[in-house]
Structure 1
Amino acid sequence: MKPSLQHASILAALFCISAAPAVAAEKIGAGKTAQAAKSRVAIQVNEESVKKWNEVLVNIRNIQAELGPKNVAVALVAIGPGLGMLTAESLAANGVQDALAAGVEFVACGNTMKALKIPREDLIEGVKVSAAGYVELMRRQQAGWVYLRP
């Protein structure tokens, strides 16, 4: 290889190497925006703990703050002892109402409601009911939702 051709090849290789991080960073940034527009998170709550409920509500606010509330769908599914979070008498009721106003979907397990004899009227206004909470979570996962159990 002639020295001038070798020199040109080395310069071209160096240019490609130096440009790669910038191109990769640009693609990652673009991916973040595209990914954010498609983000869906299903959160399970199955504990009777006001502390846990409030932590979950903080986590939801953090998710929405990071991705933007219009860029992420958040659904919380309450099962078993976690159903207490979604009752009108819950110590987390104000936080749930604020999250509902911010576009968060809350779903109560119908099986738990039957077992604990909790009528729909006892739930916070705006809470939806699914026949089976675990099936609700399973279907959302099958549809591409990210599953979180804090």
Structure 2
Amino acid sequence: MSDNEGTPVVPQAPNGPGLLIHAAGPLEPDTLAGILRSSANARAALEPGAAIEVVVQGPGVRLLTADSPVSETITHTRQLDVEVLACANSMRSAGLETEDLTAGISTFPAAVAHLAERQWQGWAYVRP
């Protein structure tokens, strides 16, 4: 199933490990914008094609909506080939549906499981 169709989607792991940036808890717009800028900086500094994901968990998922003050920053980050992912459990707690999200954001069922899987696959984990 593709992005924003109503059912959680676990993105496919790329070939080789990547960088996982974990944004958890309540987030202010400036905080999430800074995390997204960090992912853009990583994109510029890492080898071409390196996989980068920003995983948003907790009440901060509210900042991933189409009407968010950081939706433009999210779109720019996605254009840099950085995946922005929302935890479906967190979305449910926040009363959000996938169609509420900024275009291009993928979802997955549970952040804790996704984080573990990526680390088992050899991904680097960063929590700003």
- When normalised by structure 1's length, the TM-score is 0.70
- Where do residues 96-107 of structure 1 align in structure 2 (5 Å cutoff)? 96-107=74-85
Unaligned residue ranges in structure 2 (runs of 5+): 1-14
Candidates 111, 116, 120, aligned match of 2:98: 120
Deviations 1:76-123 (A, max 9, x none): 111112212311111111111011111111111111111221011100
Q: Residue in 2 aligned with 1:80?
A: 58
Whether 1:63 aligns to 2:42 is yes
CA RMSD of aligned residues (A): 1.6
Counterpart CA distance in 1 for 2:49 and 2:95 is 37
The letter for the 1-side match of 2:91 is M
CA radius of gyration, larger in: 1
Identity of aligned residues (%): 29
**Structure possessing the higher relative contact order (Cα contacts under 8 Å, 6 or more residues apart):** 2
1:87/1:123 contact within 8 Å kept: yes
Moved over 2 A (4+): none
- When normalised by structure 2's length, the TM-score is 0.81
Unaligned residue ranges in structure 1 (runs of 5+): 1-36
Q: Residue in 2 aligned with 1:13?
A: none
* 1:147 Cα deviation from its structure 2 partner: 0.6
Q: Residue in 2 aligned with 1:138?
A: 116
How many residues get paired?
113
2:63/2:70 contact within 8 Å kept: yes
The letter for the 2-side match of 1:91 is P
The letter for the 2-side match of 1:127 is I
Q: Residue in 2 aligned with 1:129?
A: 107
* 1:71 Cα deviation from its structure 2 partner: 3.4
The letter for the 2-side match of 1:135 is A
Counterpart CA distance in 1 for 2:72 and 2:114 is 24
Candidates 60, 68, 74, aligned match of 1:90: 68
* 1:145 Cα deviation from its structure 2 partner: 0.6
Deviations 1:48-92 (A, max 9, x none): 211211111111111111124x23211011111221231111111
1:38/1:71 contact within 8 Å kept: no
Deviations 1:1-56 (A, max 9, x none): xxxxxxxxxxxxxxxxxxxxxxxxxxxxxxxxxxxx95611111123211211111
